Structure 1
Amino acid sequence: MTFMSRILGLVRDIVFARFIGSEAGADAFFVAFKIPNFLRRLFAEGAFAQAFVPVLSEYRSNGSHAAVKELINAVAGCLGSALFVLTVFACVASPLVAWLFAPGFAGDALKFALVSDMIRITFPYLMLISLTGFAGAILNSYDRFAIPAITPVFLNITLIFAALVASNWFAVPVMALAWGVFAAGCIQLVFQLPFLVRMHLLPVPSLDFQHPGVKRVLTLMVPALFGVSVSQINLLLDTVLASFLPTGSVSWLYYSDRLAELPLGVFGVAIATVILPSLSRQHAGVNSEKFSATLNWSLRMVLLIALPSTLALLLLASPILTTLFMYGKTTAQDIAMSTASLQAYAVGLTAFMLIKVLAPGFYARQDMKTPVRIGIIAMVANMVLNLAFVLPLYYYCNLGHVGLALATSVSALLNAWLLFKGLRAKQVLTLDSEWLRHGGRMLLANIAMAAVLLAGLTMAPSWHELSWLMRAMNLALLCCAGLFAYIAVLTLTGLRLRHLRNH
């Protein structure tokens, strides 16, 4: 289900590239969409889920259905009221929000007014999608993973419709995308409610900040807001700094980030979503051996996907971007700029994915202090690296946006390493005997895949000169050849399907 939603997200971005390219209106929309989307990740995939799911799992394990329902009602009331106040403030003060998140746009009155207007339309998406994330967290806690995973499909379908059809109804076509974001938030929330009704867990909101469960969620959530979302905060800082760079920088970063996030979203987020309820129950049941085994399994699964994905994006960045996005308003210059930032993001892809599965190891144990401390270190490192990378790259080769992506990747590597060391130091993660064999298999398989891809690239014609069909066929052939080499070497070195199961 996650794979389906991410593929549709890729189709959505192809439509965006064709119809809005990287012009000023595109930059304005991507900022207006990124603000609530960033906050959504804090709630739907980040801090709220990490804080709420362990508490809900504990209530489910140790309490009655009535106690669980009371907790859900109280959290719904408190979360909903806080989001409503924040949404009203942001809509009223949209120029201030625009200035905070894209101060570089202030020098362009038209672009600044456009992003301010779109924020008023897109910001309510935060409230709607956060409540959707709340409903999804309940479903995930009861091992109903498919419904929350398929829900983002409605966002992608709605935005594709807005770009292809509804844009003709507006004097400023890009405004259709802003209204599409709002409509998608409503659709996604309504879609999940019937499934909560079937479980007899549909919230009846009650404003009770004194509820013990709400207090615990808030206590866990405040530090988790920072600790689990450092990589997203770094990406948002990229947007803020990119607003000072030449027009197109925000869009170049958006397209490259979306491709880097495809494996992250399909596998990293999916595995993290599945293991958090399991780890929470294992911690509540004091099963430390199973807890460590689950972490070992999740790390092996992530590396099995992350390492070849990183290599493939580094080697195939230009062919992928050309095949997917070089149509309509997207130029060869846009592709070249996006290629450079995609390769910079690819450097940190494995780290981004590891963070998704290492952080739950702390949050399932309700340990918020360690990832927050690590997050602060990574955040400071990202800020320092931004200054170290962006200015030289901007002034000497006009690639300031690449410096932003590279700084984010390096800080993610630091973040992942410190999280790993922290779990090892607390003795909740003990590497098992499978790692030596598994590591050897992956090394050989990745070398074989890289060799096949490099050989294929030397024989490929100039991608810019090919038709869409020939680009797609050549890219598909390259990807299939690389995938075949990777799987073949893994199989020849002894990997079997039973090794991929979490026993």
Structure 2
Amino acid sequence: MSLLKNVGTIGGLTMVSRVAGMVREMIFSRVLGANEVTDAWFQALIIPNVFRRLFAEGAFSAAFVPMFSKRLHNSAGGADGLEEARSFSNDVISVFVPALIVLTAIMQIAMPGVIWLLSDKPIDDATFDYSVDFAQIMFPYILLVSVVTLLTGMLNSVSRFGPGASFPIIFNLVLIGTLLAISALGMGEADIIAMGYIVAWAIPVAGVLQLGWLVYWAHKEGFRPRWIQRPRMTPEVRRLGIIALPAAIGGGAYQINTLLQVYFLNQLEGSAVSWMNYADRLNQLPLGIIGIALSTAILPTLSKFIGAKDTAGAARVQSNAIELGMLLTLPAAVALSICAVPFITIIFGGGRFDAEDAAMTGGVLAVLVAGLPAYVLVKVLVPSFYARSDTRTPVYAAVAALVVFVGFNIAFLQRFGVEGVAAASAIGAWLNCLILYLVLRLRGYYQMDWPLIGRLARQLVAAVAMGTALFYTRELLTPYYNASIPEQLLALIALVACAIIVYFGVAFALGAVSKQRLATFMKKREPEAP
């Protein structure tokens, strides 16, 4: 299957999920707004998400997918390969699931201390009790979604990308339904804490439904995981742990960054956690659609080329991923920066989310998206290390980014406030990206050629032209941002249409993109025999 087709499948479903997530946040902002309760709620949700990214999406997937795929295709996809893959996955499950259960139990007990460390608030503070309750209600989601991620890796190994890319949609639909039910009940300001509890309980419910969805597809593909079994620490499971541990440490740097971000935000006045969350929702939209889709799609392909010792093929896949990623990410970053406040006002404004919240969130978004191209490039570069079973190098890059993030906030937190936290994240992302690329180049694994650099430069020129057009269009449409919903929708469509027409018009005119290049992305490439 071609890179563009794989990315299209993953990216298309991810786009549906992100749009559903956007609708969820739109309703959330209007129903609950930005306040101490929403700060506590978002903080509570971050905790299981940190562990999910650390143990499931990051280290575990990076180690499990190549090992599982190797066994599955050991006999050219025959019965022997399927049985070997089944046995390996069951051995992993026998250790993975009990470990998650133990982790969940420990965190439930330790949660008051965790919240105290993150919020730096005394335990007699009015918000402390429900902050702890929210986190304890949500944390079991890590157990459910980690198993979902394991099943996703199995399905991705047989190029069944749809179920894994679509399960977040279930999460968003459950929360949307819950928020709409709260709105229909007409719960007022005095009930806002109760609303927080109701939406918190929707998290584990969504996890159960997501697990059911992936189990169904796993069975359909012939996988029959055994969930209740005696733990078996086989040599291959130990090897999985050895490979995954450095990636977990590297992922730990990313996730420590996330937790430290919450800590720094809690030191600021106002609803800084909520403002950052709403801004990051728009930032994550292109990152999820483009960066995660590319990362997921190229890892199996890179593994095949590198396994066949086809260096040129691996470099071609890497270059295509960078070019395609930047073609879509650069305009997204520029548009979100130029139109940050209008986008936030149109999408999240109304109800309990007022003009001050929109202005603060827009300011955060304008700074945060400066790091968006770097985040996508990191997603694209890291698979080159994982495909070579090198999970250590990304650790060093992530730790360096973490040090810069912490140092910047220690020095400038009170001076720059919440926008400073966003700037520190962007600076750290670019440093991470630079380190990864330089290591690939120094080791002779990959180097961007001049034709690629030229096309990237032309993409940047097209993005600048688009940004200039958006600047003037934004000013013309100002009266419509706080108008009726149809007028807001028309303003949003006008801004998006302006961005698309100008960017791709200039990009095609300059040769930053062409029909021939798009055809190249769609070609299916197989590694040459060593």
**TM-score, normalised on structure 1?**
0.94
Could you tell me which residue of structure 2 aligns to residue 441 of structure 1? Answer: 458
Determine if contact 2:470/2:498 at 8 Å carries over to the other structure. yes
Report percent identity of matched pairs: 33
CA 95–260 in structure 1, closer or farther in 2 if over 3 Å, else same: same
**Secondary structure class of the residue paired with 2:194:** coil
| 1: CA distance, partners of 2:318 / 2:379 | 11
Could you tell me which residue of structure 2 aligns to residue 326 of structure 1? Answer: 349
CA 231–473 in structure 1, closer or farther in 2 if over 3 Å, else same: farther
| 1: CA distance, partners of 2:157 / 2:490 | 42
Could you tell me which residue of structure 2 aligns to residue 41 of structure 1? Answer: 53
Alignment of 1:88-487 (within 5 A): 88-100=105-117, 102-106=118-122, 109-166=125-182, 168=185, 172-205=194-227, 206-228=229-251, 230-393=253-416, 400-432=417-449, 434-463=451-480, 465-487=482-504
Could you tell me which residue of structure 1 aligns to residue 522 of structure 2? Answer: 501
Greater mean alpha carbon deviation, residues 489-498 or residues 138-147:
489-498
| 2: CA distance, partners of 1:44 / 1:10 | 24
| 1: CA distance, partners of 2:347 / 2:56 | 28
**TM-score, normalised on structure 2?**
0.89
Q: Which amino acid aligns with 1:479?
A: V
Determine if contact 1:271/1:357 at 8 Å carries over to the other structure. yes
Determine if contact 2:249/2:395 at 8 Å carries over to the other structure. yes
1:370-396 CA distances to partner (integer Å, 9 max, x unpaired)? 111222211111111111221222xxx
1:306-347 CA distances to partner (integer Å, 9 max, x unpaired)? 111110111010000000111100111111111111112111
- Count residues in correspondence: 496
1:62-81 CA distances to partner (integer Å, 9 max, x unpaired)? 36322211110011121111
Determine if contact 2:152/2:163 at 8 Å carries over to the other structure. yes
**Secondary structure class of the residue paired with 2:305:** helix
- Which of 12, 15, 34 aligns to 1:22? It is 34
| 2: CA distance, partners of 1:180 / 1:384 | 37
CA 501–434 in structure 1, closer or farther in 2 if over 3 Å, else same: farther
| 1: CA distance, partners of 2:418 / 2:122 | 19
Q: Which amino acid aligns with 1:45?
A: E
CA 229–313 in structure 1, closer or farther in 2 if over 3 Å, else same: farther
**Secondary structure class of the residue paired with 2:478:** coil
Greater mean alpha carbon deviation, residues 374-383 or residues 77-86:
374-383
**Secondary structure class of the residue paired with 1:431:** coil
| 2: CA distance, partners of 1:386 / 1:207 | 47
Q: Which amino acid aligns with 2:147?
A: L
Determine if contact 1:50/1:221 at 8 Å carries over to the other structure. yes
CA 13–108 in structure 1, closer or farther in 2 if over 3 Å, else same: farther
**Secondary structure class of the residue paired with 1:327:** coil
**Secondary structure class of the residue paired with 1:471:** helix
Determine if contact 1:341/1:401 at 8 Å carries over to the other structure. yes
Q: Which amino acid aligns with 1:236?
A: L
Greater mean alpha carbon deviation, residues 493-502 or residues 138-147:
493-502
Could you tell me which residue of structure 2 aligns to residue 54 of structure 1? Answer: 66
Q: Which amino acid aligns with 1:275?
A: I
1:418-473 CA distances to partner (integer Å, 9 max, x unpaired)? 01111111211132453144124313321321122122123223455422321221
Q: CA deviation at 1:355?
A: 0.8
Q: CA deviation at 1:53?
A: 1.0
Q: CA deviation at 1:93?
A: 2.7
- Which of 67, 85, 110 aligns to 2:102? It is 85
| 2: CA distance, partners of 1:482 / 1:277 | 33
1:217-273 CA distances to partner (integer Å, 9 max, x unpaired)? 211211112324644442332112212222411100100111111100111001111
1:144-195 CA distances to partner (integer Å, 9 max, x unpaired)? 1111111100100111111121574987111111111010000001111121
Q: Which amino acid aligns with 1:375?
A: A
**Secondary structure class of the residue paired with 2:127:** helix
Could you tell me which residue of structure 2 aligns to residue 397 of structure 1? Answer: none
Could you tell me which residue of structure 1 aligns to residue 528 of structure 2? Answer: none
Determine if contact 2:264/2:413 at 8 Å carries over to the other structure. no
Q: CA deviation at 1:6?
A: 0.6
Determine if contact 1:58/1:281 at 8 Å carries over to the other structure. no
Greater mean alpha carbon deviation, residues 185-194 or residues 422-431:
422-431
Q: CA deviation at 1:290?
A: 1.4
| 2: CA distance, partners of 1:455 / 1:107 | 50
Q: CA deviation at 1:285?
A: 2.5
Determine if contact 1:58/1:284 at 8 Å carries over to the other structure. no
Q: Which amino acid aligns with 1:183?
A: V
